[in-house]
Structure 1
Amino acid sequence: MLSKILGLFSSDMAIDLGTANTLVYVPKKGIVLNEPSVIALLQHRGVSTPYAFGTQAKMMLGKTPAEIYAFRPLKDGVIADFKGAEEMIKYFINVVHDRKFFFARPRIIVCVPSGSTAVERRAIQDAVESAGARDVYLIEEPMAAAIGANLPVTEPTGSMVVDIGGGTTEVGVLSLGGVVYSKSIRIGGDAIDDAIIAYIRRYHNLLIGEATAERIKKEIGTACLPDSTPRSIEIKGRDLVNGIPKEIVMTESNIAESLEEPVKQIVQVIKLVLESAPPELSSDIVDRGIAMTGGGALLRNLDKVIREATGLPVFIAEDPLACVAVGTGKVLENFEELKHVLFKQD
């Protein structure tokens, strides 16, 4: 009864707690917050206090003095630093939550990777509860992504979704409101950035940072060799031979070569899930195709590579970056109808 009373004064919300970005969805308002999952702490006399969050903190990555520590509290879709994640979630909830009454506490649904362990899921649940939620539910990312992509997940037909996030790639086959088979690998946008950094270091003796690698990925990143004249980009970094700053030119062909391994691993996990799917659902996937969501779906020509490797239709969902948050929000808006897709970690 107390929980119901508190609910009258609270703004319930759905959170896509991603490795790269955190999105918050509020019913009837849509996505009200989209910030990088980054926190900066000020360390003074052995005590750490929150200094900056989100976009402001991301601008500090790799550029801070000794007393300020900017970092991502999530890695591979799960919490790597519990205290940092709790402070970040608390800040985002306070930004979004309309606190008309000081005792108001929202009900929150949070996404978790399908391949995460019980301990990792419990850590996410505990962090959100500690941040001020009155009730926390979890939902697997493939299910949330499929709902956000408007796939018929509650019908007795097979749907397949590939969600490529910052830390993980989630591949799932869904039917009748449940995940029939899913596989999660810790390859995503961060691994793609790391592959670009490693390639430039190995072949050009140039050391670049994560922000530069992300810019390269967004501007000329491609999963296969381009058909037309390859585009190029000028990048700056530190020459590993003499230690001074240097500028070089990278082309799309170079980036396609650097991304060969992570793209190959994504294709392999898609094939593994297709091999493990029940035959009746496989026939539905042939008709409906594979839906791609997440920021990684925006990598140029990745859909083409998957289409050629599987022989199946592949389409990118509308607004793939927000699919998981929108799907989680739809569950919150239709709570009684879709609550069977939610769970709590004991």
Structure 2
Amino acid sequence: MTASLEQLRRCHFAVDLGAARTRVYVKGAGLVVDQPSVAAVNTRTGALIAVGEFAERMTGRTPDYIRVVRPVTGGTVVDIEMAQRMLRHLLGDKVRRTLRRKPRLRAAACTPHNADPLAQRAAIETLVGLGARRVELVDTLIAAAVGCGLPVERPEASMIMVCGAAATEVAVLSLGSIVTAERIRVGGEAVDHAIVQHLRHQHELMLPSQNVRPLQLALSGNGLTSHGPTSTEIHGRDVATGLARSVQVDTAAVRHAIQTPLTAVLDGVGKVLRVCPPDLVADLADRGIMMVGGSALLPGFDQMLRQATGMPVHIAERPDICAVQGVGTMLEGRIQPLELDPLSS
């Protein structure tokens, strides 16, 4: 599925259509778009009202004739037409005019590991609608590994964990290819949902999912350990009366609710290590695991992973944009493949 480096060097721009955010890298200009994958539509006229951050702020606060939609779910385009309209508005007229001047516009798209043919086709159709004559597909795992500086082209093991909003992908890479990988359908959204359900069942408090992030930040830098604050105040709506109410939430109970979905992630890491060749696992004992993706910043997640595996765990410098930066690095030709001289017979 992953295009060759030579094919990617011919591309003019790259798009990472994530479940939470859409990022666009233009060759020679760098990262030009980093916005939430959200659009607000007027259902009466079909007009697009807002995209990106402004549309995300409208979630749950609109009249009935305005609908806030997410055309991308789990890294897969589920509404091609809306995704195209969203991308056009996010790029803006200036960038689109620059791209249209290219005689044969080529694009690259990040897709989840082992994406089915329908998902691949949806990504291609979305970029073709923007004027691309040819679309190259790049595995998100390889792109993220390149973006965070892992030596993926060398004959040594590199382990990466892409913590996305809808899923977590774990892989061991060597010689520029994936040796073994696992996709776990648990991501940042599952953690948010666990917190929302905990507050509903234990405190009879309804909390919109977009307000969960402050609660995670309140868990401090050691969010999944016992060194964080003992309690935090949360505002929401009472389930029975519908009135506004504030409660003091025990953060130890919240930590327990968060750990439940993350257990599946730890199981996925263990499965990848069990099927990985022993020589590569020996390399990983020193190198450890590199965490990328927005959910990698969940407080204390790296410590939890370190305790479960006994391996070093590192978080990339900018974990949220590693995938699109990796594709950009390949577009600019800043990474060279390992060349092997053929043996003479």
- Is the TM-score greater than 0.5? yes
Aligned equivalent of 2:294:
295
Deviates more, 1:63-72 or 1:93-102: 93-102
In 2, the alpha carbon distance for the partners of 1:231 and 1:36 equals 32
Letter in 2 for 1:140: D
1:22 and 2:25 matched: no
Q: Is the 8 A contact 1:144 1:325 kept in 2?
A: yes
Aligned equivalent of 2:12:
12
The offset of 1:233, in angstroms, is 3.3
Percent identical residues: 35
For residues 47-98 of structure 1, give each alpha carbon's deviation from its aligned partner in whole angstroms, at most 9, with x where no partner exists: 5221111011111111111111112111122122232222212323445725
The offset of 1:259, in angstroms, is 0.5
Q: Is the 8 A contact 1:158 1:175 kept in 2?
A: yes
What secondary structure sits across from 1:291 in the alignment?
Answer: strand
What secondary structure sits across from 2:232 in the alignment?
Answer: strand
What secondary structure sits across from 1:270 in the alignment?
Answer: helix
Aligned length: 328
What secondary structure sits across from 2:97 in the alignment?
Answer: coil
The offset of 1:119, in angstroms, is 1.0
Q: Is the 8 A contact 1:220 1:251 kept in 2?
A: no
RMSD: 2.4
The correspondence of residues 93-172 of structure 1 with structure 2, limited to 5 A, is 93-94=91-92, 97=95, 99-100=97-98, 104=102, 106-172=105-171
Aligned equivalent of 2:267:
268
In 2, the alpha carbon distance for the partners of 1:233 and 1:23 equals 34
Aligned equivalent of 1:55:
53
In 2, the alpha carbon distance for the partners of 1:215 and 1:25 equals 29
What secondary structure sits across from 1:155 in the alignment?
Answer: coil
In 1, the alpha carbon distance for the partners of 2:288 and 2:99 equals 48
What secondary structure sits across from 2:43 in the alignment?
Answer: strand
In 2, the alpha carbon distance for the partners of 1:111 and 1:251 equals 40
In 2, the alpha carbon distance for the partners of 1:77 and 1:27 equals 22
The offset of 1:157, in angstroms, is 0.7
For residues 13-61 of structure 1, give each alpha carbon's deviation from its aligned partner in whole angstroms, at most 9, with x where no partner exists: 22221111112222343322210110111122xx522111101111111
The correspondence of residues 34-53 of structure 1 with structure 2, limited to 5 A, is 34-44=34-44, 47-53=45-51
Q: Is the 8 A contact 2:161 2:171 kept in 1?
A: yes
Aligned equivalent of 1:334:
333
> Closer, same or farther in 2 for the Cα pair 1:67/1:13, shift >3 Å?
same
The gaps in structure 2 that reach 5 residues or longer are: 1-9, 338-345
The gaps in structure 1 that reach 5 residues or longer are: 1-9, 339-346
Q: Is the 8 A contact 1:39 1:88 kept in 2?
A: yes
> Closer, same or farther in 2 for the Cα pair 1:256/1:100, shift >3 Å?
closer
In 2, the alpha carbon distance for the partners of 1:42 and 1:23 equals 25
In 1, the alpha carbon distance for the partners of 2:99 and 2:308 equals 55
Deviates more, 1:68-77 or 1:201-210: 68-77
